[in-house]
Amino acid sequence: MANLKMANNYDYLIVGSGFGGSVSAYRLAQKGYSVLVVEQGKRYEADDFPKTNWNLRKWFWVPALRFYGFSRIKLFRHITVMAGAGVGGGSLVYANTLPVPRKEFYDLGSWAGLNDWKTELAPFYEIASKMLGTSQNPHLGPGDEALEELSKEIGKHDLFEPTQVGVFFGEPEVTVPDPYFNGEGPEREGCRFCGGCMVGCRYNAKNTLDKNYLYLAEKLGAEILPSHKVVDVQQLTDDSDGKSHTYRVALHPVGKPFKSKKYIKVKGVVFSGGVLGTVPLLLKLKRKSLPELSDQVGRGVRSNNEALIGVVSRKRKIDFTDGVAIGSIVHTDLHSHLEPVRYPSGSGFWRLLMAPMLSGKNFFHRLALLIWDYIRHPVTNAKAYFVGNWAKKVQILLFMQTLDSRLQISKGFFGTRTKMEDGPAPSAFIPEAQELAKKYARIINGKPLVLPTESLLGIPTTAHILGGACMGKDQEHGVIDKHHRVFNYENMYVIDGSAVSANPGVNPSLTITALAERAMSIIPAKNLQNKK
């Protein structure tokens, strides 16, 4: 932010500007607190987004290569994680879907029994949905129509529906005054259904967090510092009474190793960097500056047991880029659902990282099956890889389940690593997902492909990593309490995906937003806080 004039002291410093951090910034600013949001990624305007995902420098986040895009990928032993970076966090790259989880979610995991979560969160889901501009997708493209045909084939047509998404469906190419916040928000333009949601909306239609929570927070005086990373948090004691604690936070500019650190003194800290940001930072702080953090840091990490499968169609006249990123959904059983995902025209980068879908007992078995597939189907495979406009011809299928398994993230010699904690290991070979993909492929005359990390290494991919700083009744069972307060540290919170303490089985963005709204509702206004 060009006009940022950082002070040395703030009431709250928020680490990260995703769904948890943006809500915290707005609600704390509303309550009269001075707020600084520190975000490691850049601030984006519409013209800053790449037109396609071939523009790797603008799309991928790999600081070591000086790629400062907003799409981040992290490979672990048990899972590959896709996340966001930038002012607005995951909202910049996510597919806009904002579902409320099924009832099973509220009674599982380490938060079970701490509250009647379904009842408690209901009003906050409503607030979150309104703030994020949730509405039903009004347009079904060819990929959605094929999914509807599949739903009929498997006897689930009554469970097929358009998605609830955070998109402004006004008139395309027409700019109108703020339609959401009584004129207090920014001007907007109607969705063009170009499929560009996940490479960054260039047409001001996607309801990213910089157009609602963060925008309103800045109007109230909150400050956002992009391209900086929190590297240390130290607890201080006010010598005047020996009891009041503050924190000294060290910041470092991203990509500038020889620049000096900046130090900010704050009364409270909110960790909202997502699992890939918050959990490694807490693990580091526990070793050094905040030793009283719970030993549960890094535990209870979950995915949505996902499968991502690209089906490349051989039909000559078909365009899967028509629509929003995810325009429809079908619930295939009590624990699972399937969604079609699209990229904009010209976005064919993923074709370089695809291999035939298969399953096998071990690496060598799968390698043999892969080679045999190329030998048996040379023409089909060639067409799948060398099709003209890849994004127009491929429909990515996203399969998710609520079934639970838990990982642990810990510090290793070469950075963070994962190991199994409980339940079955996440699998790249989900039989239901592969069977649905084959049926969908027959409908569109296509061939299913997956990432080679899945077909060869058996490592599944997720865009919805959760947990690692979960709720618990005490520090023996969690990192935070039911109000998101960090055990053993005053005025310190974790409010992001790492605080989600069970598997929702759906896109968690609305849930994180609702949890953040509830956590912020409990914090008193500044004038009331001072009277205590």
Catalytic residues: 464
Closest among 204, 215, 279, 276 to 40, alpha carbons compared: 276
Exposure on the CB side of residue 183, measured as CA atoms within 13 A: 0
User: Strands 492-494 and 262-271: what pairing?
Assistant: parallel
Structure tokens at 345: 């025209």
Residues 6 or more apart whose Cβ sits within 8 Å of residue 244:
237, 238
Q: What is the DSSP string of 191-221?
A: ---BS-GGG--SSS-B--GGGTHHHHHHHTT
User: Strands 175-176 and 188-189: what pairing?
Assistant: antiparallel
Query: Residue-wise over 198-218: b if at least 16 C-beta within 10 A, else e?
Result: bbbbbbbbbbbbbbbbbbbbb
Is 195 buried (19+), middle (13-18) or exposed (0-12) by CB count in 10 A? buried
Exposure on the CB side of residue 417, measured as CA atoms within 13 A: 7
**Helix and strand counts by DSSP (H, E) for the chain:** 13, 25
- State residue 447 phi and psi, 5-degree precision: -125, 125
Distances (CA, A) of 444 to 88, 281, 396, 447: 36, 45, 12, 9
Exposure on the CB side of residue 430, measured as CA atoms within 13 A: 29
Instruction: Specify the 3-state DSSP secondary structure of 130.
Output: helix
Give the integer Cα–Cα distance in Å for 77 and 61: 20
Beta-bridge mates of residue 406: 422
Give the integer Cα–Cα distance in Å for 522 and 519: 6
